[in-house]
Structure formats: C-alpha cells, structure tokens
Homo-oligomer: A and B are copies of this chain.
Amino acid sequence: MKILIKDVLLKGATQDIFINNGSIEEISGRCTREADKVINGRNKAALPSLINGHTHAAMTLFRGFADDMPLKNWLEEKIWALESKLTEEDVYWGTKLACLEMIKNGVTAFNDMYWHWEGTARAAAEMGVRGLISAVFIDMFDRKKGQEQIELNRALFDLSERYKPYVTFTFGPHAIYTVSEGSLQWMRDFSEKHNILIHMHLAETLDENRFADEKYGLTPVKFLDHIGVLSERFIGCHGCVLNEDDCRTLRERRAKLVHIPVSNLKLAVGSIFPHFLMKNEGIPYCFGTDGCASNNHLDLIETMKFASLIAKFANHDPTMLPARETFDIATKAAAGIFNLGDWEIEVGKSPDIILIDLNRPEFVPNFDIWSDIVYASNGSVVDTVICMGRVLMENRYVPGEEDILRKVKKTAKALVAR
C-alpha cells in the first residue's frame, strides 16, 4: 500500500510524505509519485503516533461500573467479581472497543496485561494496531497453579506466531505479591532465551512495598534484582514507591518503567512516580493509561498533561517535564522501550503517523505545537491515523465503529447480569 500525504505541516514546513508499506520513502515539498491513497494534509500536522505503555484493554467493559471506592473493596467486590465471569468473547469485544478508542486518540501500539490472551490478540490484529500482549500470570505462591500458568504461557508464545505482525507476545507476571519466586525465575530464563519482554506491576502502592519488606526483607525492586529478573527486557509499571537505591539498581540492570499518573491519582495510591530520580539516573520510561476501570479513558494526550503537570507540582518546579520532552517520552522513548524502531518521521524510518487537525481553537495562535498538544488539547484533535502502512482512521472515522459500540454495550450489560 502506497500512501501520499500532501501539504502537511512537518517540523515547521509544509511537506509531502510518501509511505510505501509503512516505510517513509520520500519527504519533499512536492512529491509526484503514484499512490494508492492520497490524503489531504492541509491545516494538519504530521506527528509520530502515541504508544500506550500499560493497559488492560478489555477493561473498557467495566468503564464507570465502579468508581470512587476504597481500593480494596473496589478490587475485591467489583472488579474481581466481574472478571471471574469473563469469557474470551467478552475480552475480544472489550479490546475491540479499546483499540477503537486508542485509534481515535492517536495511539497505535499498546502494552497489555489481561485474561483470555487470544481474545485480546484477535481484536488487536483485526483492528490493525500493534499489541504487545501478555496473559496475566498469577500463581498466588501455589506450585500447581504456577505450573499451569507456565504451560499456558508456553502455548500462548507458540500461538502468538499466528497474530504476527500485529501481536508480540510478552510475559505479564502480575506483581511480586501474586507471583512466586519460582515462576518469576522460569519467566526470566524463557524471556532471555526467546527475547521476550516482561511486563509487571512494580512498586504501585505502599502496601506492595510493605508486603515485599515482610516476605523478603527487601523492596520490590531489590527482591526482583536478587532473583535476577531485572534486565533490559523488564518493564515495571507504576513505580510510585521507589527510592534512590531502587532507581540506581533499575539503571544498572537497564530496566524500564511506565508512569501511569491518572490511575495513581484516581486510586489515591499514596505516592507518585519520582520523575526527578528517573531523570537523574537516566532511566528510560514512557506513559500508560492503565485500564478503563481505573482511569477511565485511553487518551494518552490527556495522560501527557497529567504527567507533565504532576512532575512540576511534585517537584515545586514549573520547568520539569516541558512539553517537547513529554511528547518525546510518549512517542520516541516508548518506541525504544517496546523495540518498535526509530519513531521519527524521516526517510527510511517506519513510525506510525498521526495527523492533527490544526483548525481548532486549541491550536490558535499556535506559537508552539508541543505546548499546544500537551497542554491545550486532547485525543479529539487527532484526525487521521496510519499504522504499519494502513490508514486506520480518516476524518475521525474508523470503519465499523458503530458496530463495535453497539456490540460492546450489549456485551457489558450481559456480563454484569450474568
């Protein structure tokens, strides 16, 4: 598929962009090549797409089902009760909605952890986005359960071949308080052998750190390091309760983090991602939305604003996380973490591309496009989405969206009535 974007704003100049099978072959003032699809880029800006570093996509099914509750009651009475009834078909539809919502917000890749792996994989592949998909791995320190999960994960790893190039299999050990040392060590070895990313909740709450201290006499990071799980393939999500020593260890092991500010604030976890430590140590990190039960929106532009503003406020320093740096973390840095290549709109590179509609109040006067995107807009400014060389959205329309909305409404209502 050859796509030609005409007259689009790119790095301050009006350009034509020619894309062949997802790879940018020409950027010039006037491109005359033949294309299968020509997109009018006038009054639009071309940017690399956004990458969602942590979500549970199918939890769109639970959006608005339970909010404003104490964490423990919310999880145990509401979320786990519903999750126990989920089928793969439910997960498939919930993920279809999540992918639709992410596309509408300019997100083309997401790092997922959830139940019924194949439901998520099927939906991501059908929607044409990039899913880094893990099955939640929980054994509750039970050897038999651990063995079952290991077998399941082996099988899913093999199955994931079927969903290429859309889906990449990853490991999703839930957290240090739900997964045994033995299972973590198995994932460590399998991950090293097959170069698989490990996606794990890490130091999200004070309770988690208390658990680690009581069980292992260590912080979560130090425990994972002690059993050799930290590596350049390790991606820790949340990281609200990290000290300087933890951060030094994460850097030494070349591990990565995902900052998820909206969820952390909404669930009132009691501590926030120490942006200044990350910066000091040079630890790569990106942003995630979390699932729709705890955010409740998969809008990564909104998340960028929260992340930047919380970093400024928490550090008493308005120069922290400036707009351009924030945007680069959500795009370039994230692509690095998930091995998606060089996420720049340049000849010879293959980032996914979004077009932003500049013909809106948010982009007037438009002194600084990074500031306008991070501080003045939200996902609704995204007009067009191109992922792996295919146009997924144009003029804010995604083919088939009405069907997804209708079907998910039914699915969610049937689920809570079950």
Q: Are B63 and A372 in contact (CB under 8 A)?
A: yes
Q: Are B97 and A364 in contact (CB under 8 A)?
A: yes
Q: Are B299 and A365 in contact (CB under 8 A)?
A: no
Known contacts: A268-B317, A313-B268. The answer to whether A68 contacts B362 by CB under 8 A is: no
Question: What is the bound-complex CA distance between A319 and B69, given in angstroms?
Answer: 5
Q: Are A70 and B380 in contact (CB under 8 A)?
A: no
Interface string of A287-312 (1 = CB under 8 A from B): 00000100111010010011011101
A108 is an interface residue with CB less than 8 A from chain B: no
Interface string of A71-93 (1 = CB under 8 A from B): 10010000000000000000000
- Write out the residue numbers on chain B whose beta carbons fall within 8 Å of the beta carbon of A306: 306, 309
Question: What is the bound-complex CA distance between A265 and B97, given in angstroms?
Answer: 32
- Which chain B residue has the least Cβ–Cβ distance from A411? B365
| Residue of A100, A265, A413 contacting most chain B CB atoms (<10 Å) | A265
In the complex, how many angstroms separate the beta carbon of A172 from the nearest chain B beta carbon? 24
- Write out the residue numbers on chain B whose beta carbons fall within 8 Å of the beta carbon of A266: 308-309, 312-313, 318, 375
- Write out the residue numbers on chain B whose beta carbons fall within 8 Å of the beta carbon of A299: 378
In the complex, how many angstroms separate the beta carbon of A136 from the nearest chain B beta carbon? 22
- Write out the residue numbers on chain B whose beta carbons fall within 8 Å of the beta carbon of A371: 63-64, 67-68, 296
- Write out the residue numbers on chain B whose beta carbons fall within 8 Å of the beta carbon of A367: 63-65, 412, 416
> How many copies altogether?
2
Question: What is the bound-complex CA distance between A9 and B61, given in angstroms?
Answer: 21
- Which chain B residue has the least Cβ–Cβ distance from A369? B64
- Write out the residue numbers on chain B whose beta carbons fall within 8 Å of the beta carbon of A69: 318-319
In the complex, how many angstroms separate the beta carbon of A256 from the nearest chain B beta carbon? 24
- Please give the number of chain A residues whose Cβ is less than 8 angstroms from any Cβ of chain B in the complex: 71
Question: What is the bound-complex CA distance between A360 and B389, given in angstroms?
Answer: 26
- Which chain B residue has the least Cβ–Cβ distance from A314? B268
Interface string of A312-325 (1 = CB under 8 A from B): 11011111101100
Question: What is the bound-complex CA distance between A262 and B318, given in angstroms?
Answer: 12
A390 is an interface residue with CB less than 8 A from chain B: no
Known contacts: A69-B318, A375-B266, A376-B296. The answer to whether A64 contacts B368 by CB under 8 A is: yes
A249 is an interface residue with CB less than 8 A from chain B: no
Known contacts: A296-B372, A378-B380. The answer to whether A67 contacts B100 by CB under 8 A is: no
- Write out the residue numbers on chain B whose beta carbons fall within 8 Å of the beta carbon of A67: 322-323, 368, 371, 375
Q: Are A364 and B313 in contact (CB under 8 A)?
A: no
A183 is an interface residue with CB less than 8 A from chain B: no
In A264-301, the 8 Å CB interface with B consists of 264-270, 272, 292, 295-297, 299
A-B contact pairs, 22 of them (CB 8 A): A60-B364, A63-B367, A64-B372, A65-B368, A67-B323, A68-B320, A69-B319, A101-B362, A104-B361, A262-B309, A266-B313, A268-B316, A295-B375, A296-B371, A296-B376, A302-B378, A306-B306, A359-B402, A359-B405, A360-B405, A364-B405, A366-B409
Please name 20 further chain A to chain B contacts, defined as beta carbons within 8 Å, in addition to the given A64-B367, A64-B372, sorted by A numbering: A60-B361, A60-B364, A63-B367, A63-B371, A64-B371, A67-B322, A67-B368, A68-B318, A68-B322, A100-B361, A265-B310, A267-B312, A296-B372, A296-B376, A297-B376, A302-B302, A360-B405, A361-B405, A364-B412, A365-B413
